[in-house]
Amino acid sequence: MCGDALFSSVLSHFASAKVGREKVPASCNEVVEDPAAAVALTGSSSRALDGGRENTAEFTAGAARLERCEGDFPTGQRRSHSTGVGRLTDATPSAAWPPFVSQECRTSVCADPMSDFFPGASLRSQVLAHSLRMTVKPLLGVWAQWPSPLWPAGVIDYAARIVPPLRGVGHRSVRLEHCAAELIDAGNLGNETVVLYLHGGGFLTCGLNTHRRLVARISASAEAAVLSVGYRMMPKHPIRDAIADGVDGYRWLLGQGFEARKIVIAGDSAGGYLTFMTALTLVDLDLPRPAGLVALSPLTDMDPAGKLAHPGAGQCPVFPRSVLTALTGLADQDAHRDATGKPCASPVDGILEGLPPVLIQVGSTEMLYPDAELMAERLAASGVPITFEVWDRQVHVFQAAADLIPEANHAIAQIGNFVRTATTAHTLHSDRSDETVAL
């Protein structure tokens, strides 16, 4: 579901007191106003290649140590400590960190990660969380009681047409084989780098309109054009069709002359699920792998049991517990709409070896935190370079509220850093990235 994304976008727009805030930020210094709360768990796994060892620590450290933005934080806010699996060499974390997020959650993702901890959430982010808890969460609870396909889910994306685009950002319509798409350009269309973006919305709602401002900010931060895909959704189409549309978007970019080593696939929530499933499908189709993957608050496990059992499940300011069971129930029904009869696959259960570097961002109190953490662990165990950022008490896909909360701007700056690093780290790509592809 993405009512929170629309709510955040509308609230962010009307909360902007200065016209200048409507502009696409040109640098990190323009957007970071308050200390952001984040834990960057940087995976420094090593992989065996041709009998040797390829160390990936340099890539992940460059993507996650906040070198571009750490100067914006007051002295004393930054705490760094070298960690190993399940241990801290520093003192116990700040009490501001939610008690249900254990030390192991923050330190067991990779062997020998580097952790940068920024405690606390800004007042504005706390106000946003309270607003969502009082508005969006009850509405989603009502939907979960009657998760009928008769709900007018398309109204949300239609209503988002009233949200004005960011000034100075161009966009043009693109028609893929089975769905619409949009090429967003924040003045970077001439660059070689491009992002393929898959929006969230529980496979049911949202679209190009709800995510246009977020995508535009990512375009500016990454210094890259973005192809936003309006993929087919339930209940009219199975989730497999959405994955196929993601692959079609990737093929379209290759057909436009973009090299795979310059393409990053990104998505939020259900779009995070599609990001990983699209990447895994590219492997199955023997297409060249992209330069990197970015997942914001991703859904990675179609089994709701782990999320519902997590100690922090009740603290999510957006999703009531009932939403998970309702959504997975719809997905299970949807899974049998085609001839295969197979249930929806979970990215965490996929063969992850060989995937490109990954950035995952998630709020510490949101319902999908266990999914993000589990995916980070599975990626690290598979030898995939993983940068795992946990943002203290931030709401689901808080990056959509970039006009309103400083943490969102900082997170988007991190995404830009990751995209630029991934698309220039040529040594991390296999020879398959340079192969000629028949489209």
Buried/exposed 193-202: b ≥16 CB within 10 Å, e otherwise = bbbbbbbbbb
Runs of H (alpha helix) within 256-290: 270-284
User: Residues 213, 165: contact at Cβ < 8 Å?
Assistant: yes
A 10 A CB-CB count for 16 gives: 13
CA–CA gap between residue 299 and residue 255 (Å, rounded): 29
Based on C-alpha coordinates, what's the Rg of the chain? 20
| Residue matched to tokens 């889910």 | 153
Give strand ranges (E) for 64-186.
Answer: 79-84, 87-88, 114-117, 170-175, 180-185
> What residues are annotated to the active site?
269
CA distances from 289 to 227, 278, 286, 345, 353 (A): 17, 10, 9, 20, 12
Instruction: Give just the sign of the alpha carbon dihedral 327, 332, 333, 334.
Output: positive
Q: Residue 311 — φ and ψ, nearest 5°?
A: -60, -25
Single-letter code of the amino acid located at 155: V
